Amino acid sequence: MNIIIAATFTDALACLTAAEQKATKTSAFDLQTSPQHPGLQMHRIDKSRDTNFWSARVNADLRIIVHKTPASLMLAYVDHHDRAYAWAERRRIEAHPTTGAIQIVEVRERVEELAPFAPKPSAGPFGKLSDADLLSVGVPSDWLADVRAASEDSFLDLAPHLPVEASEALLQLATTGVFRKPAPATKPADPFTHTDALRRFRVVENLAELAQALDAPWEKWLVYLHPTQRDFVERTFSGPARVAGSAGTGKTVVALHRAARLARSSPQARVLLATFSEPLAASLAAKARLLVSPEPSVAPSLRVASLQGIADELYELSFGRRALIAKPDQIARALERAVESTGVQANMNFIASEWAHVVDAWQVKDATDYLAVPRLGRARRVGSKQREKLWSVFATARASLDARGFQTWPGVFAALTAYLEGRSEKPFTHVVIDEAQDLGVPELRFLAAMNGGVDALFFAGDLGQRIFQQPFSWKALGVDIVGRSATLKVNYRTSHQIRRAADRLIPLTIRDADNHVEDRKGTVSVFNGPEPHVVFAETEAAETETVAAFIRTALADGVAAREIGVFVRDPDRLARARAAVASAGRAVIELSDRGEDPGERVSIGTMHLAKGLEFKAVAVMACDEDALPQRARIEAVADEAELEDVYNTERQLLYVAATRARDRLMVSAVKPGSEFLRDFSA
């Protein structure tokens, strides 16, 4: 007999106390090993329309709802006695008559909180769809009339009652006007193998798999994948590939599952899963351990690291010594002394920018190369004679760093690139990169040197979240993703209201340097929530109290302190975040201490450190006029193109911070506030 775990069971399990979860897991193991165990007191739920629903006793009050057939036993739900029975009495589990996917369907006449819609056959966005159209996307038969009568606004209340594949397809129609009717497909012999069914059910074969699914029930990404995500996880690519998508669409989930799948693919597999920062790499490593924990033989084949971390390690292995990396202030002093010693008249902001984005990034070695290097994203034209003078500055600065044994990270990546290009055997058979939008020229050259062909390079990223690097051509550096890229369109992390507001900060379509377009149009969120709250306070003290009230309200509504985040633009404004949290009566933990357990503390940090995180409630505060865009960045720009890029990346930074919120978002500033904040309510 198959043991099946439904996503509704793991969701419900996560809502129980720690002691209740432990007792439930013990009973779940008893169900797998001995379904007739007398302590379970199994009996049928008589009031349910589905005669296969049974109750299993956990303790005096807790009950597991089991769906039992001759072929399978499904853990469907768990809750206290009355709520558990009520859940089963208003649901049935069946294969959809058109798609063939197994579904958990709410019995329409028993959904009391949703009043029947007045029949208006063609008034709403779905009024002109036929029964066959609605059935083709998985709408249950007894919900057809409600869907057809719903308006665009009322459908947001209706959507949570429908199977997720149906609500996604209809939300996409409501938001874009496009109805994508699936191509006719043969019904699977086993309805649990349908791609839509795989999103909500998992068949477990042994106690180890059951333990994995139950020990981290909040990590639904471990088990349930959207069909588009699953396709990118499992597909074989003849060359470099990239998956894109706005915040919350599951790009990191795809990267993790693909890395694990590649690690399983061969005993000889050596897989690198990497991203641009140490904190994000640590977060990825924790998730990767969870994903492969039932497969001890797979773990050694999967390495998770930051790009600089793996470069540091490979450099020592390749050259027998550690690289001594120059700090930013040491580089700045070397450039200043070079300007003084050469007598070149030049703006130091321009010198620093030209070094970072052109000379060091492209590892320019001489004046000839400097004349020929690409200047994509640099509006300031520099003539050949001026370049010759400037080169004397950069050559002097580099000689000064070399004399003291210093290297830069671009230099380390360049040395490794040259080393790897001359070797047939690469350190990794497959490389998967998360947050790929923030790769720079040196890192991409390094990765291109490890491009060994089939499934060698895979990237996950979102151009709308680029906050560190200037744009450049991937294709020119040997990484061509044409024909091997796609965009995820279903947002699982952020409510419809927060996603809609945050999307106003950035264009719906973004074009990269290779003319590749990432189209955000048609992205849908799968759940509803309150509108984001934008506050323009008269004083810092008034803003502090407003944010404190937001935190107190979230706590009173059952949001745990660890599920609340407060972000500011830079470290100088962290004191305002600390004051707000203190006023709410809670302690703080800084995101720079990400390895610590937050316990009952509220997380605070800069927007840059928000990458890769998720909170039920987020306050983005101190978004003052001189904070976004940051005045120091504006004053340091070297040319008009760089100024435009600063504005773009500052907008994208606010977008990143705002989209860390799942259910509640507040954005605040002292008047007049950042010009970007007006976009939230546009």
**Nearest to 436, CA basis, from 424, 425, 444:** 444
Q: Is the model's pLDDT at 119 over the cut of 60?
A: no
Question: Burial letters for 282-312: b for 16+ Cβ neighbours within 10 Å, e otherwise?
Answer: bbbbebbebbbbbbeebeebbbbbbbbebbb
Q: Is the model's pLDDT at 653 over the cut of 70?
A: yes
* Cβ atoms < 10 Å from Cβ of 320: 7
Q: What average pLDDT does this structure show over 163-175?
A: 85
Max avg pLDDT among 104-118, 227-241, 521-535 = 227-241
Q: For 225-319+422-507, CATH number? A: 3.40.50.300
Of the listed ranges 176-190, 256-270, 274-288, 403-417, the least confidently predicted one is 176-190
Q: Which residues pair with 6 in a beta bridge?
A: 201
**Nearest to 331, CA basis, from 401, 385, 380:** 401
Q: Is the model's pLDDT at 223 over the cut of 70?
A: no
Do 393 and 342 meet the contact criterion of CB atoms below 8 Å apart?
A: yes
**Which tokens in the block code for residue 158?**
């209706």
φ/ψ of 123, rounded to 5, equals -75, -40
What are the pLDDT digits (tens) for 108-117? 888 876 666 5
Q: Any idea where the domains of the chain sit in the sequence?
A: 2-92+190-221, 102-176, 225-319+422-507, 334-406, 530-681
Question: Is the domain 2-92+190-221 a CATH 3.30.2310.20 member?
Answer: yes
Same fold, 225-319+422-507 and 530-681: yes
Q: Is the model's pLDDT at 118 over the cut of 80?
A: no
Q: Is the peptide bond before 160 cis (omega within 30 degrees of 0)?
A: no
| Confidence (pTM) | 0.79
What are the pLDDT digits (tens) for 409-432? 999 999 999 999 988 889 999 999
What are the pLDDT digits (tens) for 561-589? 999 999 999 999 999 999 999 999 999 99
Per DSSP bridges, beta strands 2-6 and 72-80 are: parallel
Higher pLDDT, 340 or 464: 340
Q: What average pLDDT does this structure show over 152-177?
A: 84
Q: Is the model's pLDDT at 443 over the cut of 50?
A: yes
Higher pLDDT, 511 or 236: 236
Q: Which residue type sits at 123? A: A
pLDDT at 429: 95
Q: Is the model's pLDDT at 217 over the cut of 50?
A: no
CA separation for the pair 661, 617 (Å, rounded): 5
Of the listed ranges 69-83, 194-208, 244-258, 655-669, the least confidently predicted one is 194-208
pLDDT band at 467 (very low <50, low <70, confident <90, very high): low
What are the pLDDT digits (tens) for 373-414? 876 555 455 667 787 889 999 999 999 999 999 999 999 999
pLDDT band at 291 (very low <50, low <70, confident <90, very high): confident
Of the listed ranges 204-218, 274-288, 450-464, the least confidently predicted one is 204-218
pLDDT at 117: 58
Mean pLDDT of the chain: 88
Q: For 530-681, CATH number? A: 3.40.50.300
